[in-house]
Amino acid sequence: MSMKSKTDVIIIGGGATGCGIARDLALRGVPHYLLEEGDFARGATGACHGLLHSGARYAVSDSEAAKECIEENRILRRIGKKCIEQTGGLFVRLPGDSKKFRDRFLEKCEEVGIPTQILSPSRALEMVPSLNPELEEAVLVPDCSIDPFRLCLLNIVSSRRRGGVALIHHRVVDIVKERSRCVGVKALDLFTGQVKEIYGKIIINATGAWGDKTARLAGCDVPLTLSKGSLIITDHRLTNMVVNRLRPASNGDIIVPNEAVCVAGTTSVDVPDPDEARLEPWEMELLIQEASQLIPAFSRARIIRGYTGVRPLIRGGCEGDSRRISRSFRIIDHENGLISIIGGKLTTYRYMAEKVTDLVMDKLGLKAPCLTAEYPLEGQEELSGYPLSKRLENLNEIVCECELVGKREVEETVNRIGVRYISDIQHRTRLGMGPCQGGFCTYRALGIIHNMGRISIEESRYILKDFLQRRFRGIRPALWGAQLREEQLVEGIYLRILGLGEE
């Protein structure tokens, strides 16, 4: 027995673009459903630097993308204060880096409208004392750090408050066609195994790197070049500002502070399948090496995890050198009720959503202006940003010592979203995001859920093993030194104390 629903617009994909479209449709009063196979921000949205670009990175190579970035940067800083940290960013020129490039960089930034300020080495070192002291100079730009997961959640708040439906852990297994027009989707609830049929007038494919796979369900193609970018995370902040290398875009030249940690990346390697992309050992070495040139302490820092995101780039022209492909985006109207959106960046997600929604309005014959840049993101007042004072309130019941997450927070999250996976709780509370990567607190969090009577033993067994496997794949490339030591301890606890794996 399957469940049927009707709506106007069906969005496939719960990344920044999909969530942004949901908010835009909601503000224009259009009913919609959003379907996401994992949790929000599962794809490239969650597996990036968490950098709100000033656009300076693209100023020289891609002024169109740079312009979009600086405009959106200004808008997001206005509407999304609670998921953005206004860190500012430095472009650091090291000995040997071209001065000519620096001149062009400044010129192009000015052309596009990105404010810059040249800093002497001593001034730059005052702002970021961990910088390579040999730097020649630095350029200050309005780069920011952004929490992509929180950004998605806030967009969804607007959608839900206006009747939008967003379903996570739902995989679209089929696009239903009638007289060669796409009229609906079949979505499999990955937790219950139930198939839901949802019908709508327009279907939007916002599945990023999975764009072609999704379009194929409707017999369409999406010309994508998939380029993976790998990143690594340190156990603490080595800088309070975004640090970029002032040279043509290359491997490992950006370091971004994010909450309690630092993210360094990326690489750029073409891959055939987004599900198969992994961080390779050579990438780990390269990223540490490159990041250490900007911040020498990076070579001794504890790396807690590595991950890979897959960029969905527009195919054409620059095969073999994905860095040269424009970071701009493209909307493809398949003219059968399906619209695909590809390319783009986290920074420009709102603008991309606006353009897609404009097209949808046109198709539906509706008229309402885009309001997403006008109003602040809703729900920010509830997002406390986890201030320390709040975390310390229930010190007796701290579940995750690394990130100071209390029992009550876990219980509230479980009550609010229902329980699907430990990672759902992690994303919403930061439980297990610290150095031990959930080694200690997962058993506790599941225990709490158990005590709440929310899961069966089969579910709990599956959730725990699934979590440990995923966690392990993330930390595996970073296993040496303190992280290896901790991993062996965690393994000892699960295998030799708890007896997991003996069933």
305 is an interface residue for other proteins by CB under 8 A: no
The residues in 277-296 that bind other proteins, with binding defined as CB under 8 A, are 281, 285, 288
Question: Which of 95, 272, 365, 457 lies at the binding interface for other proteins (CB under 8 A)?
Answer: 457
Q: Binding of other proteins at residue 359 (CB under 8 A)?
A: no
Cβ proximity to other proteins, 106 vs 303, nearer residue: 303
Say whether residue 485 binds other proteins (CB under 8 A): yes
191 scored as a contact of other proteins (CB under 8 A):
no
Which DSSP letter does residue 6 get? E
**Cα(433)–Cα(430) distance, rounded to whole angstroms?**
5
Cα distances from 57 to residues 60, 66, 341, 487, in angstroms, run 8, 7, 23, 37
Smallest gap from Cβ 414 to other proteins, in A, equals: 14
Query: Which range touches other proteins (CB under 8 A), out of 27-35, 65-73, 139-147, 464-472?
Result: 464-472
Site string for other proteins, 365-404 (x = CB under 8 A): -------------------------------xxxx-----
Q: Rule CB under 8 A: choose which of 63, 260, 460, 462 binds other proteins.
A: 460
Given the complex with other proteins, which of 272 and 453 has the nearer CB atom? 453
- What is the smallest separation between the CB atom of 431 and other proteins, expressed in angstroms? 14
- 497 binds other proteins per the rule CB under 8 A: yes
Those residues with Cβ within 8 angstroms of residue 44's Cβ, 6 or more apart along the chain or in another chain: 15, 208, 209, 309, 310, 311, 312, 346
| Complete edge-to-edge strand list for the sheet that includes strand 181-189 | 3-6, 195-199, 181-189, 170-178
∠34-37-42 over CA atoms, to 5°? Answer: 95
Q: Which of 93, 407, 428, 430 binds other proteins (CB under 8 A)?
A: 407
Q: Is 408 in the site for other proteins (CB under 8 A)?
A: no
Interface region with other proteins, contact rule CB under 8 A, candidates 28-36, 83-91, 153-161, 466-474: 466-474
Does the protein bind other proteins through residue 471 (CB under 8 A)? Answer: yes
DSSP secondary structure letter of residue 57:
G
Closer of 99 and 496 to other proteins (Cβ): 496
Contacts of 103 (CB under 8 A, 6+ apart): none
Question: Strand pairing partners for 313?
Answer: 225
Question: Other C-beta atoms within 10 Å of 252: how many?
Answer: 24
What does residue 127 show for φ and ψ, rounded to 5 degrees?
-75, -40
Residues 414-443 that bind other proteins (CB under 8 A): 440, 443
Cα separation of 247 and 125, whole Å? Answer: 19
Q: How far is the CB of 481 from other proteins (least distance, A)?
A: 6
Please spell the DSSP secondary structure of 277-326, one letter per residue.
Answer: ----HHHHHHHHHHHHHHSGGGGTSPEEEEEEEEEEEEPSS-TT-GGGS-
> At closest approach, how far in Å is the CB of 394 from other proteins?
10
Cβ-based nearer residue to other proteins, 375 or 480: 480
Among 31, 223, 248, 447, binds other proteins (CB under 8 A): 447
Give the span between the Cα atoms of 142 and 70, in whole angstroms.
9
- Alpha-carbon span 437 to 194, nearest angstrom: 32
Q: Is 302 in the site for other proteins (CB under 8 A)?
A: no
Piece of the chain touching other proteins by CB under 8 A; list 3-11, 22-30, 59-67, 488-496: 488-496
Give 250's DSSP letter. -
Sheet of strand 32-35: strand arrangement: 165-167, 32-35, 9-12, 202-205, 338-343, 329-333
Count of beta carbons in the 10 Å neighbourhood of residue 451: 10
**Strands 84-85 and 89-93, how do they pair?**
unpaired
Q: Which is nearer to other proteins, 336 or 460 (CB)?
A: 460
173 binds other proteins (CB under 8 A): no
**Is residue 116 within the footprint of other proteins (CB under 8 A)?**
no
Decide: helix, strand or coil at residue 177. strand
Among 75, 174, 450, 462, binds other proteins (CB under 8 A): 450
Which residue, 173 or 498, has its beta carbon nearer to other proteins? 498
Q: Interface residues with other proteins (CB under 8 A)? A: 281, 285, 288, 396-399, 407, 440, 443-444, 446-448, 450-451, 453, 456-457, 460, 465, 468-469, 471-473, 476, 479-481, 484-485, 488-489, 491-493, 495-503
